[in-house]
Structures are given as C-alpha cells and as structure tokens.
Structure 1
Amino acid sequence: MTRAIIRAAEWTLTEETGEGAPRAVFRVACVDCGAASEAVDNQPEPVEMWALRHTGLNTTHRRFRLATEWFWRVVPAPGNPYFDLEGTAGR
C-alpha cells in the first residue's frame, strides 16, 4: 500500500446531484411567534403559502425567516491526483 500526502491540490465545489439528493430544502418560521412550516424539498411555494396563511390567521404576524439548505459536493479538479483515480473525468 502506498501512502502519500498531497500538500496542494485543486478541488471543485459543485451542487450535489446524486440520487435522492434534493436540490434544496425550504422552511419558513414566523419571527413574531416562532411557528414554523414543515421542511419541503425542491419547491418554495408550499412555505410561501404557509407564510401567507399564517398571516391570514394572525394578522399582526408579518415577518418571517426563510431557511434554505442547499447541498454541495467537493470533487477533484483536473490536475488533482484523485481526479483520474475516482473516475471524475467527464463530470
């Protein structure tokens, strides 16, 4: 087994597109009372509707905090010794 220390290598930060990985997860919380929507994959519309309904039921609750999770992956860039080892050419 050969062991090597790579002191400098280029890497690329990219969006995670693997099977089952959502593009994004959205959730909104009312700043006034702390009530929060469910987390929803890929579509912001359900949390937008939640905020509008929440304000409709609580007319003084008009401020919301949106939390969005976006998934990334780091892959070896061309010239990185792992690039050919991991078969990342062509990604």
Structure 2
Amino acid sequence: MGPEAGEGDPQAVYSALCMTCGAEAPASDDSPEHVEIWALKHTGLNPAHRQYKAMVETYWRVTPAEGNPYRELDARGA
C-alpha cells in the first residue's frame, strides 16, 4: 500500500472548519497555504473565531505483490 500516484492526482487535499461558526475553507490540492490564508482572513473578519479543525485527505493505492494473482489483473487493466 502506498500513495496514489496517478497523473493529475493530488498528494493531499487540505481544508479547515471554523469551530465557532462552522464556516469551511474551500479545499486546496497539495498545499495548505490557501487554507491558512482563508483562516487568517476569517479570524480577521471575526476576531472571536480562532479555533479551526484542520483536515487533510490523502489517497492510497493497494498494489499486489509479485506472485499475488491480483497483480495479473492489474497488468490486464481489470
């Protein structure tokens, strides 16, 4: 098992949820920077909103080992 490595697939998707009002940052692929900026702006507009739930999604793929019958299915594109 390892990270999904398909072309165009993100390594991670980041988001944040304001624990005060439930507002959620738009998801951002591969970098938490946009989510961090969103949280800072949200706090700037709402000074009492200072606690966030940070969320990171990652994607994995199971690759059958050599000798495993499912590996042959992967080779055939099944």
TM range (shorter): 0.7 to 0.9
Q: Which runs of 5+ in 1 are unaligned?
A: 1-12
Structure 1's consecutive aligned runs of 4 or more residues displaced over 6 angstroms after TM superposition are: none
Which is greater in Rg?
1
Aligned mates of 1:19, 1:73 — CA distance in 2: 13
* Counterpart selection for 1:56 from 27, 44, 49: 44
Q: What is the CA RMSD across the aligned residues, in angstroms?
A: 1.2
- Count of residues in Structure 1 that have an aligned counterpart in Structure 2: 74
Aligned to 1:68: 56
TM-score of the superposition, structure 2-length normalised?
0.86
Return the offset for 1:77: 1.5
Identity %: 50
Unaligned stretches of 5+ residues in structure 2: none
Q: Residues 22-41 of structure 1: matches in 2 within 5 Å? A: 22-41=10-29
SS in 1 for 2:26: coil
2:9 to 1, 12, 21: 21
Greater share of residues in helix:
2
Kindly state the Cα deviation for residue 68 of structure 1 after the two structures are TM-superposed. 1.1
Q: Could you state the TM-score of these two structures normalised by the residue count of structure 1?
A: 0.74
